[in-house]
Amino acid sequence: MSVLQQKIEAALAQGRKALIPYLPCGFPDLDKFWEDVAELDAAGADVIEIGVPFTDPVADGPVIEQAAQECLQRGVTLKYLIDGLKERKGQFKAGIVLMGYVNPFMQYGLDKLADDATEAGVNGFIIPDLPYEEADMFKKAFAHHPLDLIPLVGLNTSPERMKLYADGASGFAYFVSVLGITGGQADLPPEILDKLRQARDAFDVPLALGFGISSKKQVTPFGDLIDAVVFGSALIRHIQADGTPTEFMARFK
């Protein structure tokens, strides 16, 4: 069982959903970012998802996109993030996942990425623009490293395609709750229950729900269909309004 799956299973054993907060690297500034990651960890995050800022973030809504653009202006790069994690390796209890797009990872070099990410204590990757048919190059690079390539499925994913993603899946599966980009929608689409049941049937690894999640009451109706909750835009807005990561994490407890 991978580190990420262990973290989620441990939360479930405590009778709760695993919490996976997301922050883009370098938000709200270079120093505060690392302080907020440490605070999220201390506040009970089971896995922390760190965004790799990119110029064309096709899955990100306006809140995350704007934050990422500001991070790019501060000079944040994938190397900066990995070097920062290397310096802090062993300081976080939470699992660490990097969320980014194919282009920056390819430019870094996939074999080097696998080596450096492992050295930095990274446990997995989420790559929204990586289709199943093109994932083999990442799987090959990660094959001899303790790195999970997290599959993304959603409302428009057929049961047959879910089974393709489920074959050999590790860590957890990420279910995208809406058709479109990230955001802070209060109401999740009614058809999500049936699709979550299909995903639950397809995957043997834990199932995380993300996109548009801002409160515990949104996910309560899904019961045992989900094992973890991912939140990003709402957390970013909370920090922009001078709130603390600890305050935000308390919403889900």
Residues labelled as active-site residues: 49, 60
The whole-angstrom separation of Cα 181 and Cα 162 is 20
Asked if residues 57 and 65 have their Cβ atoms less than 8 Å apart, the reply is yes
The edge-to-edge listing of strands for the beta sheet with 95-99 is: 148-150, 124-126, 95-99, 47-51, 18-24, 228-231, 207-210, 173-176, 152-154
Asked if residues 27 and 64 have their Cβ atoms less than 8 Å apart, the reply is no
| 3-state secondary structure (DSSP) of residue 218 | helix
126's tokens: 């989420």
The whole-angstrom separation of Cα 141 and Cα 181 is 28
Phi-psi region of 213 (alpha: psi -120 to 50; beta: other; left: phi over 0): beta
The whole-angstrom separation of Cα 146 and Cα 42 is 24
**CA angle (79 as vertex; 233, 165 as ends), nearest 5:** 60
Residue 38: HSE in the Cβ half-sphere, 13 Å Cα cutoff: 11
**Pick from 57, 70, 60, 59: nearest CA to 25:** 70
